[in-house]
Amino acid sequence: EPEVTQTPSHQVTQMGQEVILRCVPISNHLYFYWYRQILGQKVEFLVSFYNNEISEKSEIFDDQFSVERPDGSNFTLKIRSTKLEDSAMYFCASSDLGDLQPQHFGDGTRLSIL
């Protein structure tokens, strides 16, 4: 069964450093998303992406965050200058075109900021 793959599974970074989280969405999907889950809290929406541009973003997704689809398969989340509070699980998701299409999630990247 096709799946969303994310790399790396765990990223440890010094505060203030840039980090790029990578995702390969399901191949025929057209909508892409990033969510995060801080330890002990809910899964929260960050951003959605369609047709090479951001469709929606939450308040969390400030100027430190950016997304990109650099080629036909990858979808990346960049955090420019990481803060301690960016430590979380980051999940990538994708969905197909059309109504009532569920979002399918990857296994996440655990980001630890030191």
Partner 1 sequence: DQQVKQNSPSLSVQEGRISILNCDYTNSMFDYFLWYKKYPAEGPTFLISISSIKDKNEDGRFTVFLNKSAKHLSLHIVPSQPGDSAVYFCAASARYEGNTPLVFGKGTRLSVIA
Q: Which residues bind partner 1 (CB under 8 A)?
A: 4, 6, 30-31, 33, 35, 41-45, 48, 50, 55-56, 58, 91, 95-108
Q: Minimum Å distance from CB 56 to partner 1?
A: 6
- CB of 72 or CB of 98, closer to partner 1: 98
Rounded CA gap, 87 and 1, in Å?
30
**Shortest distance (Å) from residue 81 CB to partner 1:** 25
Give the residue from 84, 88, 9 showing the smallest Cα distance to 45: 88
Nearer CB in complex with partner 1: 18/68: 68
